[in-house]
Amino acid sequence: MKTSSKKFVYLTVFVIITSQLTLSSCFNMKSDTTMKISENFFGRIEEKEIKIFELENPKGSKVSITNFGAIVQSLYVRDREGNFEDIVLGFDSLEDYIQQTSYFGAIAGRYANRIAFAQFTLDGKTYQLSANDGNHHLHGGFKGFDKVIWDARPYLDTTGACLELHYISKDGEEGYPGTLDVYVTYCFTLDDELKIYYQATTDHPTILNLTHHSYFNLSGFTQRNILEHELIIHADSFTPVDSTLIPTGEIVPVKNTVFDFTSPRPIGSRIREVFNKKTGYDNNYVLNTTDSTVHPAAKAYDPESGRILEVFTDQPGLQFYSGNFLDGKIKGKNGKIYQQHDGFCLETQHFPDSPNHPEFPSTVLRPGQIFRSLTIYKFSTDR
Ligand code: GLA
């Protein structure tokens, strides 16, 4: 957990999670696709009602998403025996999401991951961002996209059950230049895919890096930690970091290092050899791809439950984070205490600190350009 993050205090927060208890409206929409969307009250922040939407497919798989932080609150998919269990970490109440500094399930932005010394220079002008991770900027600052209220529009279409989330980030927010108009659309499909479409425009040159920050644990209800999960990352190289997790600028082959996940092996097999800020993986992988089409990025498999997660993206990088900062102090859903390595994140992204590394793919967005990107998390079982 980051200790330097500010705590947010809001006047009133109601803690409502189940549809039976809701104070608000509840509706069901059915269509030919037989996908289902329901909408419930999740809480209140000042005058604003925060909602939680459930997107469900006919198989019975379902995902809950709130318009606070664009957070995925739960994700139920079956194991090989057909048992539906929740495979993401998180909280039962809105209040816990307001207080958290772990980014459970959230969209991170404007700039996901770190910017060294919270500074960058664009077109000759130096911008100072908020420093919320020691001297560095992390995941958009004190009040990043994980802590803002998004406008929500649920709809059904041929892709599945979708939730469009919209947010306007004002010029100067957390130090960033330009007003950014951003859409994040989650679509849950008949094939147990969670598709995340990103779109953004700006009225002034700025920088942008968006990611999704779910902590997965395929055992279901965090019954076991993730060290036995087998992982493949389709990356022959990675960007090493200094002791404060800022990339050194090198791009180094993973071969013959503990970072090599080019063939499947348990996450825990060599994790104690990785000395990061906290022991464990917290690195950006340079995905094996030569173009910007959607391509396989990673695959995780829990041999005990039989659950499989595949990740596809058009982004050049992937942050593999093995839940190193979870320290037994967070009480999550159903009172579960989250320990180190109880979850892992596979965050599709541009490389951390790119604005200070001209040799990395550019993260600059200019007026007139439209940033568009797609990441897919696909769930299945081994039989
Ligand atoms: C990302 C970072 C980690 C950590 C987590 C949130 O994955 O790379 O260092 O900050 O987010 O705790």
| Greater pLDDT, 159 or 163 | 163
Note whether residue 1 is domain-resident. Answer: no
**Closest-lying ligand 1 atom to the alpha carbon of residue 282:** 8
Name the residue with tokens 């007026």. 367
| Nearest CA residue ID for atom 9, ligand 1 | 282
**Closest-lying ligand 1 atom to the alpha carbon of residue 277:** 9
**Closest-lying ligand 1 atom to the alpha carbon of residue 101:** 12
Asked whether residue 23 carries a pLDDT value surpassing 80, the answer given is no
Of 212, 213, 229, 341, which residue is the catalytic one?
213
Ligand 1: centre distance to CA 21 (Å): 34
In terms of residue numbers, what domain contains 102? 21-381
* CATH for 303: 2.70.98.10
State how far the Cα of 354 lies from the Cα of 86, in Å rounded to an integer: 34
Asked whether residue 6 carries a pLDDT value surpassing 50, the answer given is no
17-26, 124-133, 302-311, 350-359: lowest mean pLDDT where? 17-26
Note whether residue 14 is domain-resident. Answer: no
Asked whether residue 8 carries a pLDDT value surpassing 50, the answer given is no
Name all residues whose Cβ lies below 6 A of ligand 1.
Answer: 102-103, 113, 138, 245, 282, 319, 321, 325, 345, 347
Angle at 304 between CA 301 and CA 310, to 5 degrees: 15
| Nearest CA residue ID for atom 12, ligand 1 | 102
Banded pLDDT at 313 (limits 50, 70, 90) = very high
Banded pLDDT at 34 (limits 50, 70, 90) = confident
**How confident is the model over 330-357, as a mean pLDDT?**
98
Of 341, 347, 350, 357, which residue is the catalytic one?
347
- Note if 347 is an active site residue: yes
pTM: 0.92
Most informative mutation of 100, 138, 211, 274 for ligand 1 (most atoms within 8 A of CB):
138
State how far the Cα of 322 lies from the Cα of 318, in Å rounded to an integer: 13
Query: What integer pLDDT is reported at residue 172 of this predicted model?
Result: 98
What's the number of domains the chain is made of?
A: 1
HSE at residue 312, side-chain half, CA atoms within 13 A, is 13
Strand partners of residue 38:
28, 54
The predicted-structure confidence for 74-132, as pLDDT tens digits, reads as follows: 999 999 999 999 999 999 999 999 999 999 999 999 999 999 999 999 999 999 999 99
State how far the Cα of 281 lies from the Cα of 32, in Å rounded to an integer: 44
20-29, 136-145, 250-259, 268-277: lowest mean pLDDT where? 20-29
Note whether residue 6 is domain-resident. Answer: no
Banded pLDDT at 22 (limits 50, 70, 90) = very low
Query: What integer pLDDT is reported at residue 150 of this predicted model?
Result: 98
State how far the Cα of 189 lies from the Cα of 197, in Å rounded to an integer: 13
Rounded percentage of the chain residues whose pLDDT exceeds 90: 89
Note whether residue 8 is domain-resident. Answer: no
Q: Which residues contact 365 (CB under 8 A, 6 or more apart)?
A: 178, 180, 200, 201, 202, 205, 206, 207, 208, 371
**Closest-lying ligand 1 atom to the alpha carbon of residue 321:** 7
- Note if 234 is an active site residue: no
Query: What integer pLDDT is reported at residue 9 of this predicted model?
Result: 25
Note whether residue 66 is domain-resident. Answer: yes
Asked whether residue 33 carries a pLDDT value surpassing 60, the answer given is no
Note whether residue 302 is domain-resident. Answer: yes
Ligand 1: centre distance to CA 231 (Å): 19
Ligand 1: centre distance to CA 113 (Å): 7
Most informative mutation of 4, 139, 276 for ligand 1 (most atoms within 8 A of CB):
139
Note whether residue 245 is domain-resident. Answer: yes
Mean of per-residue pLDDT scores for the chain: 92
Task: Let me know if 261 is exposed, middle or buried by CB neighbors in 10 A (0-12, 13-18, 19+).
Answer: buried
Asked whether residue 55 carries a pLDDT value surpassing 80, the answer given is yes
Note whether residue 9 is domain-resident. Answer: no
Asked whether residue 29 carries a pLDDT value surpassing 60, the answer given is no
